[in-house]
């Protein structure tokens, strides 16, 4: 007979066995205190955040970085409702996440306060849902964790009721083991036929390539085949940016189009459907796709498809014959041309590329960066050098603002010794500014660089292109250095070019969270957007 403990303690025991070290959220309702205490009893820290949305992003990012399910806890009603964008990030950016939320006791069916169908709300964004309790609570919990970690990774939902989680249980459960991979992976014969006909094959790698073995195999493919590579935002670093064969990024724009159109075969390597911009695929050449899982909505219809563990599919692909006749200077010319497109435009006194260049020069080696949605991501993505998977963290499937700061906090907590730099616009920071308090409370070593241009630049550029009057996109001025100091962070303000280098030097030599608020002239963005996206 096993040792009796509560179901809440069974939950914490199981999560500790998966390797979970911390979870995130805002307590409330009936069950939060039980869960916090049960977690502490098993060595799992609770990180108190300022909002449930940021807690969800922190938890999902933790799942991406650690390979264990990230965990977010909310109250019922407004708590779970506020967390939904974090859940959307996990769903659309393929991050393993377990979402916990209070629910009304079954004996309280007469209560209307804070009551709505929470399962119905989360169902479109989660892979599975259940409640914590019952005679087989541990077994079902293991199943949920397995679902979250199975490709495509994503969110699962677990409802909490006091009467269930406080019940005693003696259930003994072993952690579910992932299915053993196949010893041999077969590829359709069509793939060799397509390779035989091709003289200019090109690889487009996506977010599935971030898995360690998949990234290592991709590097072998690119090297041994000696073919050009384009990666998505999520896959930045799977092959080092400074690799001779890495030419740039797939953004569905005009910058990479002339170069991709020279290919007579495109090989999609772990390219997820959520990474494709909302327009038609531009390329009519034959296409090979290898993927860990099929997609419900995929605008690409490949000529030959193989589904399975990506590293093993890549190993099988590596055995096929390739006849690459790319010009010797193709990759060099393509990379130079794409970077030149990203540097068009100017505007002083401080332009976005100037800030990125200064940050790269000042940043410690091996820094990880997190990146918000917005116009500022263009110069960062194109100029920052990443050399390994997940060295750049960005939301692409959800493409949410308010991502960089929560993700930087999660990175700092998961790997305290690794420098982390968050790049955000003023609009994105205003969506999660309270989390500066979280960064200060837990003494996260991070530098948050704010591209402060007092406007929603991407939307403003679209407005300008449609020749609409300027309206609804400009913010009143904000001094984020003072905001940072109010939360207990170090705050630095940069308004002139000569202040930039000293401020960054101070930021990267400091301990704890630092905000560098930089006044940016957004004039260059408009030309960059046209040059890169069209």
SS (H, E, C) 9-73: HHHHHHHHHHCCCEEEECCCCCCHHHHHHHHHHCCCEEEECCCHHHHHHHHHHHHHHHCCCEEEE
More reliable by pLDDT, 294 or 175? 294
What percentage of the chain reaches a pLDDT higher than 90? 75
For residue 476, give the nearest of 515, 531, 436, 426 by alpha carbon. Answer: 426
Q: Which helix (H) or strand (E) holds 178?
A: none
Work out the average pLDDT over 301-323.
94
Q: Residue 110: what pLDDT?
A: 63
Neighbour tally for 2: CB within 10 Å: 10
Among 207-221, 374-388, 417-431, whose mean pLDDT is lowest?
Answer: 374-388
More reliable by pLDDT, 527 or 434? 434
Sheet of strand 490-494: strand arrangement:
392-394, 368-371, 420-425, 446-452, 514-519, 490-494
Neighbour tally for 218: CB within 10 Å: 27
Q: What one-character DSSP code corresponds to residue 455?
A: B
Contact by Cβ (8 Å): 385, 334: no
What is the per-residue pLDDT across 128-147, written as a single tens digit (0 to 9) for each?
Answer: 999 999 989 999 999 999 99
Quickly state the pLDDT bin for 1 (edges 50, 70, 90).
very low
How many angstroms separate the CA atoms of 147 and 54, rounded? 23
How many angstroms separate the CA atoms of 233 and 240, rounded? 13
**Torsional sign, CA 126, 128, 133, 139:** negative
Q: Residue 112: what pLDDT?
A: 61
Work out the average pLDDT over 492-496.
97
What is the per-residue pLDDT across 242-254, written as a single tens digit (0 to 9) for each?
Answer: 999 999 999 888 8
| Strand segments (E) across 173-296 | 201-205, 229-231, 246-249, 265-269, 287-291
Contact by Cβ (8 Å): 403, 89: yes
Contact by Cβ (8 Å): 492, 516: yes
Q: Share the mean pLDDT of the chain.
A: 91
């Amino acid at each position: 007979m096993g040792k009796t403990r509560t179901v809440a303690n069974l939950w914490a025991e199981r999560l500790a066995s998966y390797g979970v070290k911390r979870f995130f959220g805002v307590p409330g309702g009936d069950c939060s205190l039980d869960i916090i205490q049960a977690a502490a009893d098993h060595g799992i820290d609770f990180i108190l955040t300022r909002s449930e949305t940021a807690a969800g992003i922190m938890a999902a990012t933790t799942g991406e970085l650690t390979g264990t399910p990230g965990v977010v806890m909310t109250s019922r009603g407004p708590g779970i409702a506020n967390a939904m964008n974090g859940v959307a990030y996990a769903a659309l950016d393929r991050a393993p996440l377990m979402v916990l939320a209070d629910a009304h006791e079954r004996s309280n069916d007469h209560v209307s306060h804070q009551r709505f169908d929470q399962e119905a709300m989360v169902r479109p964004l989660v892979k599975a849902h259940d409640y914590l309790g019952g005679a087989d609570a541990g077994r079902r919990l293991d199943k949920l964790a397995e679902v979250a970690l199975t490709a495509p990774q994503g969110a699962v939902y677990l409802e909490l009721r006091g009467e269930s989680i406080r019940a005693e249980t003696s259930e003994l459960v072993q952690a579910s083991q992932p299915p053993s991979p196949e010893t041999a992976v077969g590829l359709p014969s069509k793939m060799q036929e397509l390779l035989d006909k091709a003289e200019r094959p090109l690889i487009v790698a996506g977010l599935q390539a971030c898995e360690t073995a998949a990234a290592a195999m991709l590097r072998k493919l690119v090297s041994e085949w000696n073919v050009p590579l384009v990666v998505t935002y999520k896959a930045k670093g799977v092959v080092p940016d400074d690799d001779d064969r890495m030419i740039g990024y797939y953004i569905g724009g005009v910058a990479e189009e002339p170069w991709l159109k020279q290919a007579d075969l495109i090989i999609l390597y772990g390219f997820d459907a959520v990474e494709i911009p909302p327009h038609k695929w531009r390329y009519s050449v034959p296409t090979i796709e290898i993927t860990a899982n099929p997609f419900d909505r995929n605008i690409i219809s490949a000529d030959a498809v193989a589904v399975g563990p990506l590293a093993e599919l890549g190993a099988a692909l590596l055995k096929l014959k390739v006849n690459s006749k790319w010009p010797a200077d193709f990759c060099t010319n393509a990379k130079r041309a794409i970077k030149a497109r990203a540097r068009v435009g100017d505007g002083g006194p401080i332009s976005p590329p100037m800030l990125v260049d200064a940050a790269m020069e000042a940043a410690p080696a091996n820094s990880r960066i997190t990146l918000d949605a917005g116009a500022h991501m263009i110069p960062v993505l194109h100029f920052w050098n990443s050399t390994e998977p997940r060295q750049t963290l960005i939301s692409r499937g959800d493409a949410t603002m308010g991502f960089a700061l929560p993700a930087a906090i999660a990175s700092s907590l998961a790997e305290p010794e690794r420098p982390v730099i968050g790049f955000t616009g003023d609009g994105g920071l205003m969506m999660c500014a309270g989390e500066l308090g979280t960064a200060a409370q837990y003494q996260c070593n991070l530098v948050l660089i704010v591209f402060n241009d007092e406007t929603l630049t991407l939307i403003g550029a679209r407005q300008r292109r449609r020749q609409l009057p300027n309206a609804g996109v400009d913010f009143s001025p904000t001094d984020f250095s003072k905001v940072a100091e109010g939360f207990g962070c170090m705050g630095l303000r940069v308004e002139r070019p000569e202040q930039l280098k000293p401020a960054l030097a101070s930021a990267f030599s400091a301990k704890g969270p630092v905000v560098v608020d930089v006044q940016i002239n957004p004039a260059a963005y408009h030309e960059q957007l046209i040059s890169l996206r069209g």
